[in-house]
Amino acid sequence: MKVAKFGGTSLASAEQIKKVCSIVLADDARKIVVVSAPGKRHKQDTKVTDLLIALAERYLMNGEAEVELEAVISRYREIAAGLELEADIVQVIEADLRSRLTGDASSAEKVMDGIKAAGEDNSAKIVARFLQSRGVEAHYVNPKEAGLLVSDEHGNAQVLPESYANLHDLRERSGILVFPGFFGFSPAGDIVTFSRGGSDITGSILAAAVEAELYENFTDVDSVFAANPNMVQNPQEIRELTYREMRELSYAGFSVFHDEALIPAFRAGIPVCIKNTNNPAAPGTMIVFERKGNGNPVVGIASDSGFCSIYVSKYLMNREIGFGRRLLQILEEEELSYEHTPSGIDDISIILRDSRLTPEVETRIVDRIKRELAADNIVIERNLSMIMIVGEGMRHNVGTTARAATALARASVNIEMINQGSSEVSMMFGVKAEDTEKAVRAIYEQFFQNHQ
């Protein structure tokens, strides 16, 4: 049994949905189909999820949102017409959206999540209906009835362990099961969504729960590329990646796959394949436990902007017991999560997402570090990018750091920070945001174009 997940561009129009259904029907093992909300039909288009967020915001502010509601309904109307479905499906969708607006309004978060989830939920109903219209046994599956339970962190849910046993029972059902991605239900029965792009997570949870032989993730590119094609011309396609490599790459900006989506499949030992709905014959990228090296220590280069660092120095920091703990405790008390902490003998940097460190929090933290830890120097640096060089081969290869650093020096990129993860699967360079593209290109050339 395979679980096939289709992303937003695969659901964006009737034409795309027809491709999805042909792919599903081309392989009998594709029994569970997970769908996203309709995404962009072209570059300037708006995803249905974004239309739904605008709808919820408007409704929460004004108590009505007819214009925004119509924008969502018209996307589904166009899809239903293109698939020649009976018109009642549009009425069903409209009634569903209206009932979400008038549902439990005890908190804005609940209203928002209820509406956001409508994109995937109605996609799933449409796909099931289309398959049925072609004489195929297909069923829409309601995540509540199937038992996909999640924590009640709205917009950022995490799966609860009991979901796996509940969802295991889907194996016994007949026909093709069409399951909406992106949301589950809290134990109290509320809709709660994962973070953005979270349909990948749903697919991974289902693949683990039903012990699928393969989790196929259909998107709109032939494979994962060794670097962002917007920064590097015609980057190499990656055929095979390990889970750890993929996790590092998606964390640092490879948007093909949600960075939290690997864990369920990984724990259950299920291979993942990234494929293209628009070119299903292409082999795609396989994500596996182990892969054979090809001589290149690096498999991919990712970059992500929006970081900042808090640099703290104090003479003899290395001898002061509890300094690190007290420093991190200040962050904890300010409810800040941090990303990395490269350190030296007398200094330490804490790297955070820029958006988390508001000016008020910054002032408070700097003041507390000065007072409570008697630090000599504290410097906050904003607008940093992280360049992540990833590859299992780096562990056994001498000189990778030197090659990367030399490439950056030749491109006149100043390195603000270097951090090599303890796993040695990745190495990270902090650079000024404006140097990001230059840095990625220089490192790509070093490892992929000069690579003997």
Measured over the CA atoms of residue 293, residue 298, residue 303 and residue 308, the dihedral's sign is positive
Nearest to ligand ASP of 37, 348 (CB atom):
37
- Which DSSP state fits 284? -
Query: Between vectors from CA 167 to CA 198 and to CA 197, what angle results, nearest 5°?
Result: 5
Adjacent-strand bridge partners of 5? 34, 217
Question: Cα-atom radius of gyration of the chain, to the nearest Å?
Answer: 24
Rounded to a whole number of angstroms, the minimum distance from the CB of residue 5 to ligand ASP is 9
| Under rule CB under 6 A, residue 36 binds ligand ASP | yes
Nearest to ligand ASP of 199, 204 (CB atom):
199
Adjacent-strand bridge partners of 307? 353, 384
Rounded to a whole number of angstroms, the minimum distance from the CB of residue 288 to ligand ASP is 23
Q: Which residue has the tokens 């494929």?
A: 275
| Under rule CB under 6 A, residue 8 binds ligand ASP | yes
Nearest to ligand ASP of 200, 304 (CB atom):
200
Which of 99-107, 154-162, 194-202, 215-223 is the region at the interface with ligand ASP (rule: CB under 6 A)?
194-202
Nearest to ligand ASP of 19, 171 (CB atom):
19
| Under rule CB under 6 A, residue 186 binds ligand ASP | no
Rounded to a whole number of angstroms, the minimum distance from the CB of residue 329 to ligand ASP is 34
Report how many residues bind ligand ASP under the rule CB under 6 A.
13
Nearest to ligand ASP of 200, 248 (CB atom):
200
| Under rule CB under 6 A, residue 196 binds ligand ASP | yes
Binding ligand ASP by CB under 6 A: which of 114, 180, 181, 184?
181
CB 311 within 8 Å of CB 416? no
Q: Name the residue among 364, 371, 236, 233 with its Cα closest to residue 296.
A: 236
Rounded to a whole number of angstroms, the minimum distance from the CB of residue 37 to ligand ASP is 4
- Cα distance between residue 38 and residue 46, in whole Å: 9
- Cα distance between residue 32 and residue 9, in whole Å: 19
- H or E element in which residue 176 lies: strand 176-180
Rounded to a whole number of angstroms, the minimum distance from the CB of residue 145 to ligand ASP is 21
Rounded to a whole number of angstroms, the minimum distance from the CB of residue 11 to ligand ASP is 9
Which of 191-199, 334-342, 391-399, 411-419 is the region at the interface with ligand ASP (rule: CB under 6 A)?
191-199
Binding ligand ASP by CB under 6 A: which of 6, 59, 140, 182?
182
Amino acid at 290: E
Nearest to ligand ASP of 219, 309 (CB atom):
219
Maximum CA extent, the chain = 75
Rounded to a whole number of angstroms, the minimum distance from the CB of residue 117 to ligand ASP is 9
| Under rule CB under 6 A, residue 49 binds ligand ASP | yes
Nearest to ligand ASP of 8, 235 (CB atom):
8
The residue sitting closest to ligand ASP, measured at its beta carbon, is 199
Nearest to ligand ASP of 16, 36 (CB atom):
36
Q: Which residue has the tokens 């030399």?
A: 406
Nearest to ligand ASP of 74, 406 (CB atom):
74
Per CB under 6 A, contacts with ligand ASP among 273-302 are none
| Under rule CB under 6 A, residue 197 binds ligand ASP | yes
Which of 19-27, 190-198, 379-387, 441-449 is the region at the interface with ligand ASP (rule: CB under 6 A)?
190-198
- Cα distance between residue 50 and residue 68, in whole Å: 11
Nearest to ligand ASP of 181, 235 (CB atom):
181
- Cα distance between residue 73 and residue 85, in whole Å: 15
- Which DSSP state fits 329? H
CB 430 within 8 Å of CB 386? yes
Nearest to ligand ASP of 76, 182 (CB atom):
182
CB 104 within 8 Å of CB 190? yes
| Under rule CB under 6 A, residue 47 binds ligand ASP | yes
- Which string of b and e fits 205-234 if b means at least 16 CB within 10 Å? bbbbbbebebbbbbbbbbbbbbbbeebbee
Binding ligand ASP by CB under 6 A: which of 143, 198, 235, 393?
198
397 exposed, middle or buried (CB, 10 Å; 0-12, 13-18, 19+)?
Answer: middle
Backbone dihedral angles phi then psi of residue 410, each to the nearest 5 degrees: -65, -30
Nearest to ligand ASP of 193, 426 (CB atom):
193
Backbone dihedral angles phi then psi of residue 286, each to the nearest 5 degrees: -95, 135
Rounded to a whole number of angstroms, the minimum distance from the CB of residue 119 to ligand ASP is 5
- Which DSSP state fits 146? H
Question: For 260, left (φ over 0), alpha (ψ -120 to 50), or beta?
Answer: alpha
- Cα distance between residue 90 and residue 166, in whole Å: 31
Binding ligand ASP by CB under 6 A: which of 3, 23, 37, 238?
37
The 82-121 contact track toward ligand ASP, x by CB under 6 A, reads -------------------------------------x--
Positions that interact with ligand ASP (CB under 6 A): 8, 36-37, 47, 49, 119, 181-182, 196-200
